[in-house]
């Protein structure tokens, strides 16, 4: 996964991220890696530990990423009062139907027993129980793109952390269906544990 930091006002190329269950490894570009200890270019973040500092269970992020993309549209229908078809658009060369919906996060929590606690804590963190989302679905019912913007203006993070943007936009493209994925973890000697540096805060 690539993380674009430009929306935070930070220059440079996107950050490469690897998810391993509830642990995230982020490879910093050279400009940012200079702030890390010598020989280190990857930062390791334990989502469970990081989430406790702001009162939210971030482990639900990894559970969400592991979901079946072919079921996403059904999930949106179930968690939304209505789903609107916007039109037909190409995504990475594939014809798709573009849908728009507003997810009721409380309904989403009721439909997702394994992620219920994570979703409930996210509602508490963001100060909102709704989330607008756009989805692009191909002829086989597979989601090719998800796009949504998280409003942080009412969140605990914005209230307690100066400089946090008012919103963060996410775009997730899905492709190469059926192709085996091999996401190698970075070499341990190139990794610095962020939780160890911050003392779990």
Query: How many domains does the chain divide into?
Result: 1
R_g of the chain computed on alpha carbons: 18
CA distance 20 to 45: 10
- Residue 109's pLDDT is 82
| Residue 66, pLDDT above cutoff 50 | no
pTM above 0.75, yes or no: no
- Residue 96's pLDDT is 97
Averaged pLDDT of the chain: 76
- Residue 71's pLDDT is 55
- For 185-194, the pLDDT digits (tens) are 999 999 998 7
- Residue 63's pLDDT is 47
Give the SS3 label for residue 103: strand
Query: Is 109 exposed, middle or buried (CB count within 10 Å of its CB: 0-12, 13-18, 19+)?
Result: buried
- Report the pLDDT averaged over residues 50-70: 54
- For 100-158, the pLDDT digits (tens) are 988 888 888 888 777 777 778 778 777 888 888 999 999 998 889 999 888 877 776 55
Q: How would residue 87 be classed by pLDDT, with cut points 50, 70 and 90? A: very high
Paired with 85 in beta bridges are 99
- Residue 91's pLDDT is 96
**CATH classification at residue 101:** 2.50.20
Domain encompassing residue 136: 2-198
- Residue 65's pLDDT is 47
Q: In Å, what is the CA distance from 62 to each residue of 21, 35, 41, 112, 168?
A: 6, 27, 22, 14, 18
Share of the chain above pLDDT 70, in %: 69
């Amino acid at each position: 996964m690539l993380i674009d930091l430009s929306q935070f006002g930070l220059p440079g190329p996107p950050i490469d991220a690897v998810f391993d269950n509830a642990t995230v490894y982020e490879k910093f570009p050279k400009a940012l890696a200079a702030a890390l200890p010598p020989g280190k270019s990857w930062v390791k973040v334990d989502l469970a530990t990081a989430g406790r500092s702001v009162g939210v269970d971030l482990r639900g992020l990894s559970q969400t990423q592991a979901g079946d993309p072919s079921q996403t549209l059904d999930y949106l229908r179930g968690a939304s009062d209505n789903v609107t078809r916007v039109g037909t658009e190409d995504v990475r060369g594939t014809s798709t139907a573009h849908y728009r919906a507003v997810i009721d996060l409380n309904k989403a929590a009721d439909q997702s027993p394994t992620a219920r606690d994570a979703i409930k804590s996210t509602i508490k963190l963001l100060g909102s129980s709704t989330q607008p989302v756009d989805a692009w679905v191909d002829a086989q019912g597979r989601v090719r793109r998800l796009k949504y913007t998280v409003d942080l203006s009412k969140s605990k993070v914005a209230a307690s952390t100066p400089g946090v943007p008012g919103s963060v936009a996410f775009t997730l493209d899905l492709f190469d269906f059926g192709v085996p994925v091999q996401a190698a973890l970075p070499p341990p000697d190139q990794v610095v544990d962020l939780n160890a540096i911050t003392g779990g805060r």
